[in-house]
Each structure stands twice: as structure tokens, then as C-alpha cells.
Structure 1
Amino acid sequence: MTDSGLGASAFEQHPLRARILGELHARPTRPLEAPARILHFAFLTDSTRAEADRLALTELCVERGLTGPDPQTRQFRVELQGATLMWERHGEFITHGWEFAGVEADEPFSPTPAALMQKIRMLPQPGPLLVAADLHMLHGDRDPASLGAVFGPLQAAIAEANAGRALIATDFAPDTFGFVRIFIANRSMPPMAAGRLAQRALEVETYRTLALMGLPEAQNLAPSIRRIEQELPRLLDAMTQATGVEQNRHLLDALTSLASELEVGAAASLYRFGATRAYDDLVNSRLEAINETPLPDYPSWSGFLTRRLQPAMRTCRNTEARQADLSRKLARAAQLLRTRVDTEVEAQNGDLLRQMGERVKLQLRLQQTVEGLSIAAITYYIASVFHHLLEGAREAGAHVEPDRDTAILIPFIVAFVGWTVWRIRRKHHAE
């Protein structure tokens, strides 16, 4: 037996095994040597735009004699002239990270990002830009007060990270070039630890921005939810006073309309609110991994985002909870109204059935009366025919008395006609 037939490779592989095992290593951390500068972009895309962006990257690589990413690749890194491109594909967005290594600078964020972008050939924009971050890592320590001056009038979030081996700072606000600036002072981190810290810092900025996409959705839904919350008690109060099927059906139509409006908004926001929760969890996990140590007089990243981000997250969660609560209340109210309408309809149907029964009895009596009259009429008609026959027979010389003989025949005629009518009625009942 050859070596290729030994081990796990000797078994038939599940078609998803390689993909599942590779997911843990889909976005590996790369070492980062200070000084370093990274311009990080995140674009919202769908599957079509994401594939078009991958093809554009492949074309860029082929022009330089390099191999591009295959269709299943989630992360791709390529060395280009002047910079290294880190390309990542996520569920609803794509990131382009341009790493400029060895850029010497005495001051943070020098040279400007515009000057750096002129050195590279940017890929075509795959979708709307959502995140633009400018990360600058330098050797040595920095005075927090001097970093506060770098970020301008807004208070910067500054803290020690990675067990005190680094100092991180940002104001989470775009600068004049549209970038959110992140500064890292590498006190004593090796390249791999520096790469991990830079990756986590960029992920915090990316995921906190994506998490906030749920806030406009919640704000747009707020007026509609508030109106439904105000309308529902009025309809419930009207339910206690409504009488009759028509009024209850009108209320049921109103409740159904409110429920439809609510469900349309809930269905439209279902994905966004779910994504917001997931991104918020990712932000918290990345903040824990940064391992911050707060500094006096400065908010840490965790403290800053807890104070600024969590109110928005609570708004999204509260909106989602209000939608669910209203949906349950509307469903219960609609069920009560349907039960009331069904009960009233059944009562009306019972009244109709009773009325129909009385009509049937009346028709039966009328029919019996008509049958009695019809027996008398038919008897009279048949007796008249026999009387004419007997008169004709007497005129022909027969010894008959038309009046006497007709009177004698009448009981027999009545019996025959009554028997015939009884037979006909019995046959109808049988059918």
C-alpha cells in the first residue's frame, strides 16, 4: 500500500470538509512591522458585485504576472508596486486594505492619505463606501496629551493595549480626507502581535460602523410603530362596545390592516436588526481581544463605544422587541374578533335555520290543505264526468239514475283519489 492510501485521505471525504476546516484559517493574521500605514476600505456589495470585484482583482494580478484569487477565496493578499493589497470578502461587504510598510514619519498620519493613494492603482469601487480607516503604527511610546492634540477638538479614546505593550488612540470621527484615524504606538510588540492588534483595531471600526446601520432603520420604523401603538388601544376599546357582525368585521379589517403594516416593516428590518446584533457582538469580542488598560483622564475604546454605541444598539433591540410585542397583541385581538364574528354568524345562521324550519312547517300545512282541496276538486271533476256518462246512457235507453248512481260512486271516487295522492306523497318522501 502506498503512502497516499494511508491516513484520513483513504476515506471518502465529505464535500464540505475542506471548506469547514479552512474556515478557521480563512482570514489569518499577518505580521506587521512598524512603521506601517494601512488605508482600509469597506464597501457594501451583493453577490454579483462581489464576484465582479474578485474578477477585477484577478485582472490586476494577471497584468503583473501574478495569480488572482479563486472563486472560493475569502481572503487574498498580493504584493503590488508601492503597497500590499489585503482583499477580504464577507457576507455583505468587501474590504480593501492597502498596507504601506516602511513609511518613515515623525508625526502620526504623515504623509496624508491622499498622497499615499496617488502611489497605487485603486481597484474599481465594488459598491457604496461605508468604512474608510487610516491606521498608522509607529515605534516607541507617545505622550497621550500629544495624541489628543493630533485628533483635534473631539476627545480621543486613548488606552494601553496588549498588556501595556502598545498605546492605541482614535476619535472614531472622519478627518478632512474622510478617514477615521487610528494610531498605534508599538512599545514592545513583536510583528505578529502588532499584526493582530492592527487587525482587531480595524475590525472594531468596521463592525461598529456596520452595527450602526440598524439605527436608521429603527428610526424610520419608529413613527409607524408609535402610530400602531396608539391605534391599538382605541380599537381594543371599540371592541368592547361593538355590536353586530358589521361593526366587528369593520374592526377586524382595521386590525388586519395594522398587522399587515407592522409585518411589512418587521420583514424589511429582520435581516438588518439581526446583522446589527451580530456586528455588536463582534465589536465586543474584538474589544476584549485588544485587552485594554484605561488611562487617567482619557476614555478607553470600550468606554467610548459603550457610551456612544450601546444607546443605538438598545434602540435597535427595543424597536425589534416592540415589533414582536405589537405583533402578538394584534394577533390576539384579531383572534378575539374572529371568534366574536364567528359566534355571531353562527347565531344568525341558527336564527335563519329556525325561520326556515317554521317556513317548512307552514309550507307543509299549506301543502296538506292544498292536497285536501285537490282531492275534493278531483273527486268533483271525476263525479261530474260519471254523471255526464250516466245521463248519456239514460238517454240511450239504459235503466240508470244519474243523480243516484253518481252519489253512490262518490265515496269510491274519494277513496281512489285519496289513495293515489297518498302513493304519490310516499314516493316523494322515499326520494
Structure 2
Amino acid sequence: MADEAETGGRVDGLPAFEGHPARALVLGEVHARPFHPLSGARVFLRYGFIVDASAVEADRDWFAGYCQSVGVQGPGRASRHHMVQIGDSILRRERHGEFITYSWDGPLDESDDVDAAPRGHPFGARFRAPGPLMVAVRCDFVSAKGPYFARQFERFEQASLSASQVDQGAAIIATDFRQDRDGLTRILVGDQSLSQVQAGALTQRLIELETYRTLAMLGLTEAHRQAPKVGEIEDGLLAITERMRTSEGLTANRQLLDELTRLAADLEAGAAASAYRFGASRAYYLIVKQRLEVLDEQFHEGHFTFTQFLTRRLAPAMRTCETIEERQANLSRKLARAATLLRTRVDVELQEQNRGQLAAMNRRARLQLRLQQTVEGLSVAAVSYYVVGLFAYLAKALTDTPVGPYLPSQGVLTGLAVPVVLASVFLLVRRIRRHHDDREGAE
């Protein structure tokens, strides 16, 4: 008891650390999509819907109400995966980055018609789609030796039929990757000697394969949308570079630079709009390739394997996306180089203009200096004239005083004052100009 008190109630003595907010999510992610052991014939339906943030919340609220209506507990607010057991069937809701999937599996009566809708599925009028439908797949798990497998196998379109043996011949998988009358891609799994866990893992991988294969192809639609825009920008860049070879003058080069800047803005807007889509398609394609590698397929009756069919069809689509991305990146670099050249040319022409303006300013400054010196000379003469005139009045007044007979005449006094006045006025004006020059230099 003393040990428990010292360790805060923990018998082992290990401290209780504060957990990271994302710890539960990180640890739970590896167990989020467990393989569901299968026994007997089963049918799987999966629908995937593209959603945004508001649609996710609305769908979670709807699904919580649905779970309550069937008497089971609904998902938590932060829950990304939730499974509901309804009798012999299971309904799963999974929230991914940009889409939500609803997956249902239940017993399959092998005596039913292969085109019959599964019994007891929840995707009727009561079901509420959270967003636009993107994925729709049906996977039938039956015995490879039963009549249902043979009937469904024959219904596939032979031109695009893919079939192979997996798990070292323990099962046969087949699909034509086409939609049936209900808009579902049909996948057939024929059990030969699978364990229940192997069966659950195989069906889940195949459903995920079709899910991510469909989502990966979204990048192709974006590539088709961007291709004409990239072509127009390439043509525009070619026309601008041709005009750059003969353009002269600041106005013409500025106009070319404006056009080039608009092209660069259009390209960057398109690249930003497609960056997420292309990145997501790459990620989905990697998942598809990983699922195909895990299948470890072997040929069955000379048909294409899933890997062969998807590599032949899906890989070119992904290369198209990569090509558009590379064209955007290369075009961005070319636009940057062309813009740099034009800016350099515009800067050189601006410097030439500035040099001419500075030369003109220097000429005007020299003229102003000469004019100022002329004005200063005239001002010295004018001020000296007035000062000498005042001194003449003073000399005249002195001649009328008692000391007048002893002084030189008025004209002599005035003449002697002229050089003194001129020198004094000149020095005074020069001192004032230096004082102003010193103040302007200090500022």
C-alpha cells in the first residue's frame, strides 16, 4: 500500500505521462480497417462520395440518427470509422481525406439471379448520399465450384475480362471493370481453399483496389482540363519570344513584359488548381499498385490478370497527369527566364533614360550656376552702387562740417570708398552663400 501511495496508485511504479492529442489517432489507425473473417457466401456493396467539410458534418449527424433508428450506437464527433452490426449484415462508414465510403456486406443466396439486388442492403430510398457519387462496387464471395460463380463468370464481357488465381491458387478473382445495370463495378471472388481471415482480407483488398483505382482516374479529368490551357500558354510564350527578338523601345518591351506576366499568372493559377488533384492521384495510384503487389496473381485460363489490365489502362492515364505537371513546371521556368530577360532589357533602357535625364539635369545645373554667378555679380554691383551712394551723402555732409576744409573733396572720398565697398559686399555675399551651402550639406 505504501508503494501505491508513492506511485500515485500505480502498482508497477511507472509514471503517468501526458499523452499527445494525436496519440489515440496514430495508434488506432493501424486497427481502423480490420479484416472481417468470412464464412459462407457473402455480397459486398461499397459507395464512395466526394465531400467537403460541411458535408462531412452533415453526414455524420445523419448517420448518427440512422444508427439510433436501428437501435445501435452512432459514431463520435471525431470518429473516422464506424461499424454497425445489423442482424447478419455489417454496415461501415469511413471518412477519408476527400471522400466518404459506406460499405455493406451480408449473406448471399447463391440461388438468386446474378443481376438481382442484394437482400437487406441499406442503400434504398431511406439512404442519404453525403455528396456526388464517385465509387460504386459490388463484390460477390462464393464458392468457385458452385453454379453462381459459373453464371457470373460467363456474364462478364469477355473482351475486358480479367481473371487470375491468388493466394497460391486458394481463390479465383474476376471482373470486367464495367458497370452493371445498377451502375456497380462487379468483382467476383471464387473460394477454393481460403481461410476465413484470408477471405476477409482478399475481399477488402479488392474493394479498396477498385475504390482507389476510380479515384486515381480523377487526375486524368484534371489533366484533360488543363491541357488546352497549357497549350495556349505555350503558344503565347512562343509568340512573345519571337516578338522579343525584334522589339525596341521601352514602351514595346513593357507591353511584352505585361503580356508575359499575365501568361505566368494564368499558368500559376492552373498549376495551383491542379496540384492537389495530381498529388492525390499519385497517392491513390501508389495504393493501387501496392494492393496489386499483395495479390500476387497467377494466370487463370489465359485471361489478363488484374495487374496486366490496370497497368495497361491506368498507367498511361497517370503518365498523362505527370506529363501535364512536367509541362507546367517547364513552362513556369521558361516564363521566368523570359521575364528575367525582358526585365533586364527594360532596366537597361530605363538606365539609359535616367542617364540622359541626369545629363540634362547636370546641364541645367551648370546653367543655373552660371546664372547664379551672374546674378551674384550683378547683385554685388547693385548693392555696392547703393552703398556708395549712401556714402556720397555722408561725404557731402562731412564737407559742410567744421572739419570739412581739412578733408578731401566729396568726389575724392566717394571714389576712395568704391573699392572698399565692392570688396566688403563681395565678401559678405560669398559668406552668405557658403553658409547656405553648409546647411544644405548637413541636411
Q: Which of residues 100, 104, 107 is equivalent to 2:106?
A: 100
SS in 1 for 2:138: strand
Matches within 5 A, 1:118-157: 122-141=126-145, 149-152=154-157, 154-157=159-162
Matches within 5 A, 1:12-27: 12-27=18-33
Matches within 5 A, 1:302-381: 302-381=307-386
The alpha carbon displacement at 1:218 in A equals 0.9
Contact 2:114 2:152 in 1 (8 A): no
| Alignment of 1:86 onto 2:92 | yes
Unpaired runs of at least 5, structure 2: none
Between 1:57-66 and 1:89-98, the stretch displaced more is 57-66
The equivalent residue for 2:415 is: 407
Aligned residues: 429
Contact 1:147 1:169 in 2 (8 A): no
Between 1:372-381 and 1:252-261, the stretch displaced more is 372-381
Distance (whole Å) between structure 1 residues aligned to residue 253 and residue 92 of structure 2: 63
The alpha carbon displacement at 1:175 in A equals 1.2
Instruction: Indicate the percent of aligned positions where both proteins have the same amino acid.
Output: 42
Contact 1:108 1:183 in 2 (8 A): no
Distance (whole Å) between structure 1 residues aligned to residue 121 and residue 84 of structure 2: 17
Deviations 1:31-71 (A, max 9, x none): 12231111111111123322322222222222333222223
Matches within 5 A, 1:36-185: 36-81=42-87, 83-101=89-107, 103-106=108-111, 109-113=114-118, 117=121, 122-141=126-145, 149-152=154-157, 154-185=159-190
SS in 2 for 1:172: strand
Q: 1:8 to 1:63 in 2, by over 3 A?
A: farther
The equivalent residue for 1:279 is: 284
Distance (whole Å) between structure 1 residues aligned to residue 320 and residue 187 of structure 2: 27
Between 1:187-196 and 1:245-254, the stretch displaced more is 245-254
Calculate the aligned-residue CA RMSD, in Å. 2.7
Q: 1:110 to 1:379 in 2, by over 3 A?
A: closer
Contact 1:82 1:120 in 2 (8 A): no
Unpaired runs of at least 5, structure 1: none
The equivalent residue for 1:424 is: 432
TM-score between the two structures when normalised by the length of structure 1: 0.91
Contact 2:158 2:176 in 1 (8 A): no
Contact 1:212 1:276 in 2 (8 A): yes
Distance (whole Å) between structure 1 residues aligned to residue 437 and residue 15 of structure 2: 84
Between 1:275-284 and 1:214-223, the stretch displaced more is 214-223
| Alignment of 1:255 onto 2:263 | no
Contact 1:142 1:167 in 2 (8 A): no
Matches within 5 A, 1:227-246: 227-246=232-251
The alpha carbon displacement at 1:302 in A equals 1.0
